[in-house]
Chains A and B, each alone.
Chain A
Amino acid sequence: MKPLFALFALLLASAGQAQTEPQSAEPPPLEVDVTGGQRAALPIAVPSMPTPQEAATAAGGTGALGRQVADIVATDLRNSGLFTPIGPGGLHAVSFPQVTAPDFPYFATTGAQNLVQGFVQANANGSITVGCYLYDIAAQNELTRQGYVVQPRDWRRAAHRCADAIFSRLTGEGAYFDTRIVYVSETGPARRRIKRLAIMDYDGANHRFLTNGQWTVLTPRFAPNQQTITFMTYQDERPRVMVYELDSGRTRPLVAGPNMTFAPRYSPDSRYIIFSMAIGGNTDIYRIPVAGGTPQRLTNSPGIDTGGSYSPDGSRIVFESDRGGSQQIYMMDSDGSNQRRISFGGGGYATPVWSPRGDLIAFTKTGGFRIGVMAPDGSGERILTGGGYAEGPTWAPNGRAIMFTRGASQGELWYVDVASGATRRVPTPLGGSDPAWSPLRP
């Protein structure tokens, strides 16, 4: 182990949380073409990570963890669609000293262009350190190194952070593996479907339920600061938006009064929630401080105005409205002014969601129920999903991927890569719908 890294690991150990080494000031070169998405996936070797000394931890032995961390790194990179991981199985074992002195000639024979190595080490205070190194095999040099000190129960987070560091270094894109999904877990017959709020890591691990299923819940959303979740519940047969505090587990209504409130979404600064309220058959969009207060009405049409979503800078809101006779996407300034239609393709559009990068708006095309994206001015419409009912997109924090609900009555969670259109199912213990992707975890 190099002295600089050892020193840094020591510093991290005192912090006691997952933290990353500061990035170098030099911007990483773009080595994977992510906008076209057509270039072949990059082969990258991910051997098992050795341990300097086998030790038991609350999450198992450090040797076994080294293999599991490498598995997760490889899976994350494969999930991105931009990499073809080689290993951990089938590769030569890496010794601890080799972590910082790779056997480049051997890895060159695997066909990989890059190499991920690392180690898992138990610390005296009960935490573990996961080292993560990225190499260019042909140039035989190191591209980045990161160290993560986590409690053993958070070992998967360290693996996701390692994969995030590699993904960002090689693509120039933002990270997104160390994230969570809040969604609605579904089970039972359609007429009496039981819907529970559930939360899990982006890859389906660490799944747990947040509500007990007594009341139907819908459309959870993460606060950008990840301190609260807002969702809709039928608690006491009064359908309305609630705010759930993640730390305390406390739930409180967002808006006072008897009217149905739904379709909540946070402002980028986590201070406000925009939501829809139905009064006497007319639905409009309102804004209210997360802490509570008086709703401010933003739309005032006799039609259904719902599905509001802020631009990343908070200056604008995209929403859907049937004021023109069919469901279409509209744009307004965040104070409700300057409302104008932006979708003009055939058929209807619903559930617009602004990309965290600001460059695209994801939507449900209601003719055929497919997920698509368009530019914020309505141009460049592109449909991403094929056959099968789909609705309710949510963006990965780097704007590269979208998760959505597939199935009209018996839902499943699916993932689509925006550049390539590659889709895959996201594993959930029961049925699932209404996913919301968290920002990168702190």
Chain B
Amino acid sequence: MKRLTSLAAIALALSLSAGCAHRRTANELPPEPPSATATAEADDAGDQASTVGTAPLPGSRGDFLQSVPSDRVFFDFDSYALDDRDRTTLDAQAAWLTRNSGVRVLIEGHADERGTREYNLALGDRRANAARDYLESRGIAASRMQTISWGKERPANPASTEEAYAENRRAVTVVPE
């Protein structure tokens, strides 16, 4: 596992900008269903990644990001409820985690900036646990999952717009590099 991880890190480092572009696409998938244009862009990014020969190693973060629709689920304002789209995302994550039974994950809960600091810490904890509980219901052992709440301290998108807020209200499943 250790060796695989470092190989994956080297592969990622070698992939340079193309690899980064792919990861950025996966990390910043907006919560709305992608339009036809957005899908085409995502496919382009995937093609670029493959042309420089970055096949992620099984069990790596790269593998996880390529195998699931998204590493994160998004929430409505002041909510920690999962919708069908979130469950589809988490089902895929659960399937990958089932295939890679040695991998432990950290689930980060986040809030947008429109909330008091302490409440948002509690809200981020709720969101991380909502994702965690669902993954557990899909057969992932609780011992493989840790949660952390960042409240509003680590926005994915620093802008103060509705779109940015929607990106920031999230629970992210983090697979080790």
Contact = CB atoms under 8 A, between A and B. Distances in A.
Interface residues of A, number: 37
Contacts of B121: 218, 239, 260, 262-263, 276, 278, 306
A283 B122 CA distance: 6
A193 interface: yes
A278 B158 contact: no
Interface stretch (B16-24, B36-44, B149-157): B149-157
Contacts of A189: 158
Interface residues of B, number: 27
B17 to A, nearest CB: 19
A259 to B, nearest CB: 9
B158 A281 contact: no
Contact of B118 (A307, A369, A433): A307
A263 B158 contact: no
Contacts of A283: 122, 125
Contacts of B115: 366
A408 B133 contact: no
A31 interface: no
A281 B153 contact: no
Interface in A171-218: 189-193, 195, 216, 218
Interface string A236-272: 0101000000000000000000001011000000000
A351 B120 CA distance: 12
B143 interface: no
A219 interface: yes
A191 B148 CA distance: 16
A383 to B, nearest CB: 16
Q: In this complex, which of B119, B133, B153 has the most chain A Cβ atoms within 10 angstroms of its Cβ?
A: B119
A366 B116 CA distance: 8
Q: In this complex, which of B116, B121, B130 has the most chain A Cβ atoms within 10 angstroms of its Cβ?
A: B116
Interface string A64-106: 0000000000000000000000000000000000000000000
Nearest to A405: B117
B149 A239 contact: yes
A218 B119 CA distance: 13
Contacts, number: 87
Contacts of B122: 262, 276, 278, 283, 304, 306
A409 interface: yes
Contact of B123 (A260, A304, A364): A304
B160 A306 contact: no
Given A191-B156, A304-B123, A392 B149 contact: no
Q: In this complex, which of A195, A351, A409 has the most chain B Cβ atoms within 10 angstroms of its Cβ?
A: A409
A327 interface: yes
Closest 3 CB pairs of A and B: A281-B129, A190-B158, A278-B125
Given A190-B155, A191-B158, 6 more contacts: A262-B122, A281-B129, A306-B119, A327-B119, A350-B119, A351-B116
29 contacts: A189-B158, A191-B155, A191-B156, A192-B154, A193-B153, A218-B117, A218-B151, A219-B117, A237-B148, A239-B121, A260-B121, A260-B148, A262-B118, A262-B121, A262-B122, A278-B149, A280-B129, A281-B126, A281-B133, A304-B119, A304-B122, A306-B118, A306-B122, A322-B119, A327-B119, A350-B118, A350-B119, A391-B116, A433-B117
Interface of B: 80, 113-119, 121-123, 125-126, 128-130, 133, 148-149, 151-156, 158, 160
